[in-house]
């Protein structure tokens, strides 16, 4: 490892004997020469020390689940922590949410259920028929259960329902009550993920994943697959930029809204949120596609796909990857301090403790 350092020292001495420095060498004494050499060497030592520190941290990470692409990633993750599998095997998991009662809840799109995962990793059904409450499954995909989950400003849990084409709410008695299921008199497609603004507005994506034949399915009522806002009983179509809008999240100050897609031709965007809640000035945030999307308290963005969890700085630079051996669908923050990252793959649930906390609902 130190061979290149020795060679660089030889190179520096060599350069001291070439060109204009030859004249300087003839005119200076031995002490001056040593001083000049040290002037070159001391900064080099500092560079080598910094390199060794970064190399040792990166080398450790490469043997774990953490891939460090920028030193700033080390401010978020503790490479000595293990990415722990806490539960499995399920049908097709989505929408993890940390309950304010102290446990994790997740949607199973294929089982059409919401599960409760206790601190000792035991699972039990919390809600039956969580995404599809009727009987006629004609035109529906096999993933017709519930998807994204989020708290509203009254601490009630909101649910994206593929099969019922709706946003619903879990009431105090455990039943489901529809919040919104249509736009301009036509039913929604399959609400996928959602996020709640501090003023109570619900922002959600509405791709066609809940239909058997997707965007071309004859049972699909909406021409567009939009990004919507629901506020005070009114539903507004904010954007039709995507064919398959998916994950959605606000920046900590709610000045920006991030939206991603799993379609190869659709890149992750960052929208400015106007004072009236509408979206403007969409800019490409990343060329990496993905599914679930979350933001931590410092504004770093976490994006799920088949490689694991990609982590970006607020400026859009990818700084690290939490690599898993299966496709990751979504994630969320939890535990009492919101410093645990809960990651759901298709059929398993993982947990890793972080240095940074997530956004508390």
DSSP per residue, 291-359:
S-EEEBTT--EEEEETTEEEEE-TTS-EEEEEE-SS-EEEEEEESTTS-EEEEEESSEEEEEEBSS-B-
- Which contacts qualify for 225-228: CB closer than 8 Å, 24 or more apart? 225/189, 226/183, 227/203, 227/259, 227/279, 228/183, 228/203, 228/204
The reported pLDDT for the residue numbered 15 is 42
147 confidence band (pLDDT: 50, 70, 90):
very high
pLDDT tens, position by position, 42-77: 444 444 434 444 443 444 454 479 999 999 999 999
| Per-residue confidence (pLDDT) for residue 171, from 0 to 100 | 87
Query: If you average pLDDT over residues 243-247, what whole number do you get?
Result: 96
**Mean pLDDT across the chain, nearest whole number?**
87
Give the three-state DSSP class for 360.
coil
Q: What is the pLDDT of residue 27?
A: 45
Tell whether omega for the bond before 130 is within 30 degrees of 0, i.e. cis.
no
Phi and psi, residue 22, nearest 5°: -60, -40
Domains and CATH numbers, the chain: 3-62 (no CATH), 67-353 (2.120.10.30)
pLDDT at residue 82 above 90?
A: yes
140 contact partners, CB below 8 Å, separation of at least 6:
132, 162, 163, 210, 211, 212
Q: Please, which residues bridge with residue 326 across strands?
A: none
Q: State the sign of the Cα–Cα–Cα–Cα dihedral 203, 267, 330, 245.
A: positive
227-231 β-sheet, strand order: 194-196, 202-205, 227-231, 234-239
pLDDT given for residue 39 in this prediction: 56
CA torsion, ordered 211, 215, 219, 221, to nearest 10 deg: 120
Q: How many residues does the chain have?
A: 361
Q: Would you place residue 24 in the very low, low, confident or very high pLDDT band (cuts 50, 70, 90)?
A: very low
The model's pLDDT over 188-214, given as tens digits with 9 standing for 90+, comes to 999 999 999 999 999 999 999 999 999
| CA–CA separation, 299 and 188 (whole Å) | 31
Task: With H, G, I as helix, E, B as strand and everything else as coil, classify residue 26.
Answer: helix
Confidence of residue 29 (pLDDT cuts 50, 70, 90): low
Q: Residue 114 — φ and ψ, nearest 5°?
A: -110, 130
Is 175 within 8 Å of 169 (Cβ atoms)?
no
Report which of 267, 299, 295, 304 is spatially closest to residue 283, judged by C-alpha positions: 267
CA–CA separation, 247 and 319 (whole Å)? 20
Question: Which pTM value belongs to this model?
Answer: 0.83
User: How does residue 335 score in pLDDT terms, banded at 50, 70 and 90?
Assistant: very high
Could you tell me the two tokens for 263? 């379609």
């Amino acid at each position: 490892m130190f061979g290149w350092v020795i060679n660089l020292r030889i190179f520096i001495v060599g350069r001291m004997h070439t060109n204009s420095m030859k004249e300087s060498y003839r005119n200076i004494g031995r002490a001056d020469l040593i001083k000049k050499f040290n002037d070159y060497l001391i900064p080099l030592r500092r560079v080598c020390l910094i390199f060794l520190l970064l190399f040792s941290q990166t080398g450790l990470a490469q043997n774990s689940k953490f891939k460090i692409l920028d030193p700033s990633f080390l401010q978020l993750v503790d490479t000595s922590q293990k990415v722990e599998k806490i539960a499995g095997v399920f049908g097709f998991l989505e929408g993890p949410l940390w309950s304010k009662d102290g446990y994790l809840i997740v949607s199973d799109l294929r089982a059409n259920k919401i599960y409760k995962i206790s601190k000792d990793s035991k699972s039990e059904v919390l809600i039956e028929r969580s995404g599809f409450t009727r009987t006629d499954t004609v035109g529906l995909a096999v993933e017709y259960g519930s998807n994204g989950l989020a708290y509203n400003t009254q601490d009630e849990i909101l649910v994206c329902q593929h099969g019922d084409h709706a946003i619903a709410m879990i009431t105090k008695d455990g039943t489901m009550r529809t919040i919104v299921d249509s736009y301009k008199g036509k039913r929604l497609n399959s609400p996928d993920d959602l996020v709640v603004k501090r003023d109570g507005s619900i922002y959600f994506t509405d791709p066609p994943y809940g239909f058997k034949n997707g965007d071309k399915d004859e049972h699909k009522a909406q021409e567009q697959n939009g990004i919507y806002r629901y506020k005070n009983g009114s539903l507004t179509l904010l954007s039709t930029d995507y064919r398959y809008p998916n994950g959605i999240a606000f920046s900590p100050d709610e000045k920006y809204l991030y939206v991603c897609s799993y379609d190869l031709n659709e890149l992750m965007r960052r929208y400015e949120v106007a004072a009236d809640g509408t979206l403007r000035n969409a800019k490409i945030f990343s060329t990496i596609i993905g599914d679930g999307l979350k933001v931590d308290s410092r504004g770093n963005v976490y994006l799920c796909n088949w490689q694991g969890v990609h982590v970006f700085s607020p400026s859009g630079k990818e700084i690290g990857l939490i690599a898993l051996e299966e496709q990751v669908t979504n994630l969320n923050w939890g535990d009492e301090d919101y410093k645990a990252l809960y990651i759901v793959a298709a059929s398993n649930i993982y947990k890793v403790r972080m240095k940074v906390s997530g956004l508390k609902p």
